Amino acid sequence: MKVLGKTLVVTGAGGGIGRELVLTLLSEGARVAAVDINKDALEETIIQAGKNSERLSTHIVNLTEREEVEALPGKVIEYHKEIDGIINNAGIIQPFVNINDLDYEKIKLVMDINFYGTLYMTKTFLPYLLKRPEGHITNVSSMGGFLPVPGQSIYGASKAAVKLMTEGLHAELKDTNVKVTVVFPGGVNTNIMGNSGVDRNKNKDHNQQQASKLLTPKEAAAIIINGIENDEYRVLAGKDSKLLDKFYRFSPKRAAELIAKKMK
C-alpha cells in the first residue's frame, strides 16, 4: 500500500521508531494519527513535524485499556475522515532479570502493552480497514520474538505472541483488501530502556559504545515504511536481525547459546 494520501495510525508515536514513523510518513504525503500515553512526548512530535503537522492528529491513549482503544477510531475519523492503515509499534522491555526474579506485576504490564495493546488495536481497527479499497496492518515484533534472550524472556514471549498472531492474521486476510506485515527490528538506538523503567546508568560507557553500532530510529522507520509500501510479509530491520534470523533457522540451539554467551 503506497502511503501517499493515506491515513495511518501509529502507536508509540511519542519517541523512538514511532516518532520517526510519524515524521517519515508525513514527509511522504500521508496523514497520520499519532498515539501515545505521554502528552509531552506527543507535543514534541508535533513540533518536529513542523508545517506537516496540519496532516497530523495526536491521541493520548493507554493501550492496555480496551475501552480507550475502542474509542479511538471515531476520533481518528472525525479528524481525518478515513483510516487506511495501522502501525502497532508501541512496546516496552522488562528489567534485565530472569523469570524467577521477575514479579507478576511487571510480567502483566509487558504482556498488556506489547501483546494485548497490539491485539486491541488490531481487532478495533480491522472492521474499518476491511471497508477501504485497500488497507494495511503492520505489527512490530522484535528479533527477540524469534530468538530467546536471557533476562528478557517475558518480553520475548510477548513479541513471539505478536509474531504468531500477525502471521495467522495474514493467512486469515489473504483473500481480502487488507495486507499484513510483521516487523522484526534488531538493535535500534531508542529510549526504550528509559521508557520501560530500566536502569540506563548501569555500564553506561559500554551502553554508549554499543549504541553507536545500532540502527537509528530514522533508518528503522524507513525500512518499515518500505515494507508497507511493498506489502511485505515480514521485515527484518537491521543486519543483526537478518543474520540471526538465518542462524536461528539453521541451528536454534546454537543461536540461543550464542546470545546467552553475549548477554553475560
Q: Which domains does the chain have, with CATH numbers?
A: 7-263 (3.40.50.720)
Question: What are the grid coordinates assigned to 162, written together?
Answer: 505478536
pLDDT of residue 171: 98
Confidence of residue 264 (pLDDT cuts 50, 70, 90): confident
pLDDT of residue 189: 85
Confidence of residue 191 (pLDDT cuts 50, 70, 90): low
pLDDT tens-digit map of 117-141: 999 999 999 999 999 999 999 999 9
Percent of all residues in the chain with a pLDDT value above 90, rounded to a whole number: 89
Taking alpha carbons only, the member of 138, 126, 247 closest to residue 184 is 138
pLDDT of residue 263: 83
**Average pLDDT over the chain, rounded to whole?**
93
Cell 522484535 locates to 142
Burial class (CB in 10 A: 0-12, 13-18, 19+), 213: exposed
Reply yes or no on whether the pLDDT at 209 is more than 90: no
| Rounded (10°) CA dihedral 125, 126, 128, 130 | 160
Catalytic entry in 128, 155, 233, 248: 155
Between the alpha carbon of residue 221 and those of residues 21, 92, 216, the distances in Å are 5, 17, 9
Burial class (CB in 10 A: 0-12, 13-18, 19+), 150: middle
Confidence of residue 202 (pLDDT cuts 50, 70, 90): low
**Once rounded to an integer, what is the mean pLDDT over residues 91-111?**
97
39 Cβ contact partners less than 8 Å away, ≥ 6 residues apart: 60
**Angle between helical axes of 153-172 and 104-111 (0-180°, round to 10):** 30
Quick check: 12 and 24 in contact, CB under 8 A? no
Quick check: 230 and 181 in contact, CB under 8 A? no
Instruction: Count other C-beta atoms under 10 Å from residue 38's C-beta.
Output: 15
pLDDT tens-digit map of 133-189: 999 999 999 999 999 999 999 999 999 999 999 999 999 999 999 999 999 999 998
Per the annotation, the verdict on 79 as an active-site residue is no
Q: How far apart are CA 93 and CA 55, in angstroms?
A: 31
